[in-house]
Amino acid sequence: MHGLLKTAKTSLRALKRNTMRTMLTALGIIIGIAAVIALAQIGKGSSNAVREQIKRMGANKLMVNPGAINNGGISLGSGTRMSLTFADATAIERDCPDVRWAAPIVHAHGQVIHGQYNWQPNLIDGTTSAYLHIRNWMPLKAGRTFTRQEVRSAAEVCILGQTLIRHLFPSGHALGKTVRLDNVSLRVIGVLTRKGANMMGWDQDDILVAPWTTIKYRIPSGKPVTAAASTLGGGINTLNQLYPETSLALYTTPSATETADTPDPTIFMHADLIMCSAVSSKLIPAAIREIDALLRQRHHLTAAQGNDFTVRPLTALSNMLTTTTNLMTHLLLGVAFISLVVGGVGIMNIMLVSVTERTREIGLRMAVGARGRDILQQFLMESIVLCLLGGALGIALGQGVATFMRVFLQWPTAVSVRAIIAAVAVSAAVGLVFGYYPAWKASRLDPIEALRYE
Amino acid sequence: MKPLIELVDIRKTYFLEALQVPVLKGITLNIVPGELVALMGASGSGKTTLMNLLGCLDRPTSGKYALDGEEISGLSTDQRALVRSRKIGFVFQSFNLLPRTSALENVLMPMSYSPDHLPEKQARKRAAELLDLVGLSDRMDHEPSQLSGGQQQRVAIARSLINRPPILLADEPTGNLDSRTSREILQMFQRLNEEQQLTIILVTHDRHVAEHCKRVIRVKDGLIESGAFGTASEPLAIGAPGDVAA
């Protein structure tokens, strides 16, 4: 160790003997490392920003769908079974530690009217305030979300997306006003921020959010979707006429008169969908397991029975998240590699020149007792010290550039400790790899010829 | 007295492709401790090759070389480096000082290859003493470019003595110096020889240099012409040293 320190000192002295050339040699490494550090910081900043964006789109989101009904050999597709209840959502949020929010959702559709304006929103979602958290809509642009009390009492309130605001309230003042949905008056208590189109190109702002109870029990169009399962039968497929339905009719189909007389004979407690968000995108698999176990228990499923629900993460988004992160990492690796090679070739070049130029010195050192390996060690150490010095300067320079970008150009940057550690390791490695050949060449010189070299 | 250097029938042949060039054709000589010897010969005589062998920079094709009682001829490259570090100090015609390095650092340089590590402080003290010995105590921090030729050579002499070798091998030490400085340097060798009992071999082609020495070994055509044995026998006028050894 002591010997190594001494060699390092000797190398430093040798490098100091030709400061200008040392600086020029190290320039390749300095620029390379500076580029890596600056790019790592800018890249990490941008990557963080992009990740934040993707998270906002709901990378932590989990969808719990009810299972499919199989009717007379005909599957009716996901969501046709009424297996999810609102209590399930509450239980998921309460009992699954890796789930932060769980919101039951019922869909409805219909025309929303305000004064002379009307509009058919893409989505009419009956839910709880957790929904707005999951979809990253908190805080609202204006107003408030609905309270527990409002959910419990099926209060006639709603929150509107920007598209609805544009079409129904050209003046822009919507808060406190009343809109009509299927002849039910809903007071506007909140306005959502603009989200724009989602990945599929659907307008995410074309939405009306209301307490699920309101949609479920007050809005007529909120029922048929779930009620459909109870009134399976005629008209879905012509095969029904060939093979009459054998499954038990769960509910008697009310006649037109009955429907008119008793508008809501059964209270359905079933949700179309439960939307959850995991505590973090890393915990999605854990959250899925927990939800799975909880719902199986709640639905009294035996080991032999399959799930009457499905839990799905938004794979596309989480994939995008990992892809983005990997892309950034690979990009940086590419830059680091190029700078490594360019800087290294420069080092090798100058070290070869240096060996030639210092042939007599090498001869002299050998004459006074230096062995080949002493010379090898010395030149190797010189190139490593050179690279480390260059690396240190490069880190400082890169840090400066990144700071400049952040302060003056408002670019998002983040200090990357990993990049700094990698930069130091890479500089030492470059010194070692590209310094080896010149050092080896020096160590193989014949002292007699080296001393006589002109 | 037991010889410090003992060469027996040393031969050196260079192989240039198919051609064999015998340079040393059987050298036998003795040098005892405390001698100041001049190794003389015209260029092409094999003088330089002999010096390289004596300095352990090269190995003979055949023959025996005992240095300080140790057989040298069969040693490996690394072993010879160790011998050079401990036993031999070199002084060159062109000084060979490290540029842009202070006189003191130049003198210290061989210590970093010495097997016995001296603490930094002691090493510096020893180097300073040596520079004082060669009369440069006021020039320790000067770089070679700030020193005259004679001063540079004196730094080189101090450097050659830093590891306290028993032998000092000087290859044309005055070749690049004017006659006055040459005389000073040669007087310094004489002084070192007398005061420190240092064995000094001066390789030269200059008669005036050889005059400063107690004994002259003349090499001609790869053989020793005269002076093979110092104290053992008087210098021979002319002869085949190989025969004498036998």
Q: Which residue has the higher pLDDT, B230 or A137?
A: A137
pLDDT at A265: 44
Average pLDDT over residues A133-142: 87
Q: Which residues of B touch A445 (CB under 8 A)?
A: none
Q: What 3-state DSSP class applies to A250?
A: coil
A212: tokens are: 């699920």
| Residues B197, B4: Cα–Cα separation, whole Å | 12
For residue A252, which amino acid is it?
T
Q: Please state, in angstroms and rounded to a whole number, the distance separating the CA atoms of residues A236 and A216.
A: 24
- A6 and B82: CB-CB below 8 Å? no
CB atoms within 10 A of CB A172: 9
Tokens of A406: 């952040």
Could you tell me the pLDDT band of residue B245, with boundaries at 50, 70 and 90? very low
CB B147 within 8 A of CB B103: yes
Angle at A175 between CA A170 and CA A177, to 5 degrees: 75
Does pLDDT of A328 surpass 80? no
Test B110 with A368 for CB contact under 8 angstroms.
Answer: yes
Within 10 angstroms of residue B233's Cβ, the number of other Cβ atoms is 10
Q: Which residues on adjacent β-strands are paired with residue A114?
A: A117
* pLDDT confidence of residue A227: 41
Q: What's the rounded Cα separation, in Å, for the pair A425 and A101? A: 43
Q: Where are the alpha helices (DSSP H) in A121-264?
A: 130-134, 148-152, 162-168, 212-217, 224-227, 239-242, 256-261
Distance from CA of A394 to the nearest CA of B (A): 27
CA neighbor of B229 nearest in space, from B27, B90, B55: B27
Cα separation of A48 and A201, whole Å? 24
What confidence category does residue A9 fall into, taking pLDDT thresholds of 50, 70 and 90?
A: confident
Give the dihedral of Cα atoms A125, A130, A133, A138; nearest 10 deg. 80
Cross-strand bridge partners of residue B22:
B13
Using only C-alpha atoms, chain A has a radius of gyration, in whole angstroms, of: 35
Q: Report CA-CA distances (Å) from A133 to A101, A143, A315, A448.
A: 7, 15, 20, 81
Are B219 and B47 in contact by the 8 Å Cβ rule? The answer is yes
Burial of residue A99 (CB within 10 Å: 0-12, 13-18, 19+) is buried
Q: Is the pLDDT of residue A247 over 70?
A: no
DSSP three-state, residue A236: coil
Q: What is the pLDDT of residue A254?
A: 62
CB nearest A369 (choices: B81, B96, B99): B81
- Flag if B113 and A6 touch (Cβ within 8 Å): no
Q: Do A17 and B113 touch (CB under 8 A)?
A: no
- A358–chain B nearest CA distance, Å: 9
Confidence band for A250, pLDDT divided at 50, 70 and 90: low
Average pLDDT of span A107-111: 87
- Inter-chain CB proximity B92 and A10 less than 8 Å: no
pLDDT the model gives residue A49:
79
Query: Quick one: average pLDDT of B186-194?
Result: 93
pLDDT higher for A311 or A245? A311
B84–A367 C-beta distance less than 8 A: yes
Contact B92 A17 (CB under 8 A): no
CB of B10 within 8 A of CB of B23? no
* Overall size of chain B counted in residues: 246
Task: Tell me the residue type at A82.
Answer: M
Is B179 near chain A, with CB under 8 Å?
A: no
Report for A50-64, A249-263, B79-93: range of highest mean pLDDT: B79-93
ipTM of predicted complex = 0.90
Residues 6+ apart with CB under 8 A from B244: B28, B228, B229, B236
Greater confidence (B134 vs A332) lies with B134
Q: What is the pLDDT of residue A44?
A: 78
Q: Min CA distance, B111 vs chain A (Å)?
A: 9
3-class DSSP string for A333-377: HHHHHHHHHHHHHHHHHHHHHHHHHCHHHHHHHHHCCCCHHHHHH
DSSP letter for each residue of B194-220: HHH--EEEEEES-HHHHTTSSEEEEEE
Measure the CA–CA gap between A76 and A81, rounded to whole angstroms.
Answer: 9
Per-residue pLDDT at B126: 93
CA A272 to chain centre: 26
Cα–Cα distances (Å) from B3 to A7, B32, B34, B55, in that order, read 37, 4, 10, 16
Does pLDDT of A242 surpass 90?
no
Residue among B52, B98, B112 whose CB faces A448 most closely: B52
* CA angle at A365 for the pair A360 and A366, rounded to the nearest 5°: 95
Strand partners, A83: none
B159–A368 CB contact, under 8 Å: yes
Write out chain B residues lying below 8 Å of A367, CB-based. Answer: 55, 57, 84, 90
- Average per-residue pLDDT in chain B? 88
Task: Name the pLDDT band for B28 (thresholds 50, 70, 90).
Answer: very high
**Residue, of A89 and A21, whose pLDDT is higher:** A89
Quote the pLDDT of residue B234: 45
Q: Do A368 and B90 touch (CB under 8 A)?
A: yes
Mean pLDDT of A280-300: 89
**Count of residues for chain A?**
454
**Confidence band of A245 (pLDDT split at 50, 70, 90):** low
| Nearest to A277, CA basis, from A78, A99, A72 | A99
Structure tokens at B162: 């830093």
Q: For chain B, first and last CA: distance in Å?
A: 20
pTM: 0.67
Instruction: Report the Cα–Cα distance between both ends of chain A, in Å, rounded.
Output: 36
A448 contacts chain B (CB < 8 A): yes
Give burial (CB, 10 Å; 0-12/13-18/19+) of A253.
exposed
Contacts of B197 (CB under 8 A, 6+ apart): B33, B34
Q: What pLDDT shows up at residue B165?
A: 93
* Contacting B residues, span 97-116, partner chain A, CB-CB under 8 Å: 98-101, 105, 109-110, 112-114
- Looking at chain A, the whole-number percentage of residues with pLDDT higher than 90 is 30
Q: Do the Cβ atoms of A198 and A207 come closer than 8 Å?
A: no
Model confidence at A228, in pLDDT bands (50, 70, 90)? very low
Taken in order of first residue, the domains within chain B and their CATH numbers are: 5-245 (3.40.50.300)
- Structural element, H or E, at residue A410: none
In chain B, which ranges are E strands? 5-16, 19-31, 36-40, 62-67, 70-71, 88-91, 167-171, 199-204, 215-220, 223-226
Q: How are strands ordered across the β-sheet holding B5-16?
A: B19-31, B5-16, B62-67, B70-71
Flag the least confident range among A102-116, A245-259, B96-110. Answer: A245-259
What residues contact residue A399 under an 8 Å CB cut-off, 6+ apart?
A37, A38, A41
More confident residue, A6 or A258: A6
Q: Is the pLDDT of residue B229 over 90?
A: no
How big is the A-B interface in CB pairs under 8 Å? 65
Tokens found for residue B209? 């240099």
- Per-residue pLDDT at A424 exceeds 70: yes
- pLDDT score, position A12: 86
pLDDT in tens, B42-88: 888 889 899 999 999 999 999 999 998 889 888 999 999 999 999 99
Residue type, A40: A
- The yes-or-no verdict on residue A196 having pLDDT over 70 is yes
pLDDT at A10 > cutoff 50: yes
| Cβ contact A369–B84 (<8 Å) | yes
* pLDDT tens-digit series, residues A377-388: 999 999 999 889
Helix (H) or strand (E) holding B96: none
Provide CB contacts within 8 A for B246, sequence distance 6+.
none
CA angle A84, A90, A92 (to 5 degrees): 75
Helix and strand counts by DSSP (H, E) for chain B: 8, 10
